[in-house]
Amino acid sequence: MIRNLANCAAPAKLNLFLHVTGRRADGYHLLQTAFQLLDHGDSLDFEVRDDAQIVRVNDIPGVPAESDLIIRAAKLLQANAGTQLGANITLHKKLPMGGGLGGGSSDAATTLIALNHAWQCGLSRIRLMELGLQLGADVPFFIFGQNAFAEGIGEKLEAIDTPDSWFVVIEPGVQVPTPAIFSAKELTRDTKPIRIADFSSHSKMEWKNDLQIVACSLFPEVDAAIKWLKTFGDARMTGSGACVFCAFSDEANADQVLTQVPDKWTAWKAKAIRQHPMTHLLQSEKNLV
């Protein structure tokens, strides 16, 4: 049995576009988006326990352990796999909360992937994605493990190729609560659905984030960051905010912009990646169920 897994990557994602196309009877919004994985994110360490206890070893400000998605993910896997093993989990948090980068969802996905391997549960990728959806709409994408065109509430995924790009990402210094964005009366929910071919062909249609106008009206800091970054390219918000990004064709251009970001904002660069760094653990599983 594997006793320890260290430095397990939980990468950030960007929404290259995000359209709200409708709303279900249960209140969930119907979306279309393109998810892009980045070589920047959180990381987690896992130590297997024999007493079934699941413990987050370190404190995360503002996130009680009992409500942390990584603890919920571990307990969900434990219950569904019927294992009596537990884990000590250390979360090295780099991504901001409420940033639209998928940090919590990515942490949960990495927890499911890593503990499925360490506990030798043998659950398939599809089964892990089903469990992940119970934790949040973005979790299945990270277990899917490739850049993807997503529909539904984000759970219908199809792999796509995205350009090799470098991104400058700005954290405007505010947390944007997702419920506040989706419940805003200003939010339009009638963007015409597109086909995956429309995105894959990189046609010249305008790619936008339907949530951006709402976030900018509620959080002036987000609006200011977008306006500043737009002077260098096609900047927009990711997810429901607050982080904003702009793509560049090479690292040198990204570096040049990064040096000019005002000190009031935290900013960093990241490279587009094609595959989740933890995918090899899924591929190595045998007798999957």
Residue 110's nearest CA partner among 43, 20, 163 is 43
- What would the pLDDT profile of 121-143 be if each residue is shown by its tens digit? 999 999 999 999 999 999 999 99
Active site residue: 45, 68, 107, 138, which one? 138
84 C-beta neighbours (distance < 10 Å), count: 11
For the domain made up of 1-289, give the CATH fold: Ribosomal Protein S5; domain 2 (3.30.230)
- How distant, in Å, are the alpha carbons of 24, 187, 244 from that of 37? 28, 26, 15
pLDDT score of 250 more than 60: yes
287 vs 177, which has greater pLDDT? 177
Residue 284 has pLDDT above 60, yes or no: no
Contact 244, 141 (CB under 8 A): no
| Residue 154 pLDDT level (bands cut at 50, 70, 90) | confident
pLDDT digits (tens, 9 = 90+) for 179-192: 899 999 889 898 99
CB 199, CB 160: distance < 8 Å: yes
Spatial contact of 8 and 46, defined as CB atoms under 8 Å apart: yes
What Rg, from alpha-carbon coordinates, does the chain have? Answer: 19
**Active site annotation includes 164:** no
Please state the rounded mean pLDDT for residues 256-263.
98
Report H helices in the chain: 69-81, 103-118, 125-133, 139-144, 178-182, 196-200, 212-218, 220-229, 251-258, 279-283
Give the Cα separation of 3 and 49 in Å (integer): 8
Q: Is 13 a catalytic residue?
A: yes
pLDDT-based confidence at residue 283 (cuts at 50, 70, 90): low
Q: Smallest Cα–Cα separation from 69: which of 138, 9, 135?
A: 135
First to last CA, the chain: 19
Lowest-pLDDT choice from 128-137, 145-154, 200-209, 267-276: 200-209
Q: Is the pLDDT of residue 28 over 90?
A: no
Domain range annotation of the chain: 1-289
Residue 278 CA: distances (Å) to CA of 42, 56, 101, 111: 13, 20, 18, 10
Among 177-181, 200-204, 225-229, 284-288, which is the least confidently predicted range?
284-288
Question: Measuring CA to CA, which residue among 261, 254, 206 is closest to residue 228?
Answer: 261
Q: How far is CA 74 from CA 56, 108, 118, 129, 195, in A?
A: 10, 8, 12, 14, 36
Asked if residue 204 has pLDDT above 60, the reply is no
Average pLDDT over residues 26-33: 89
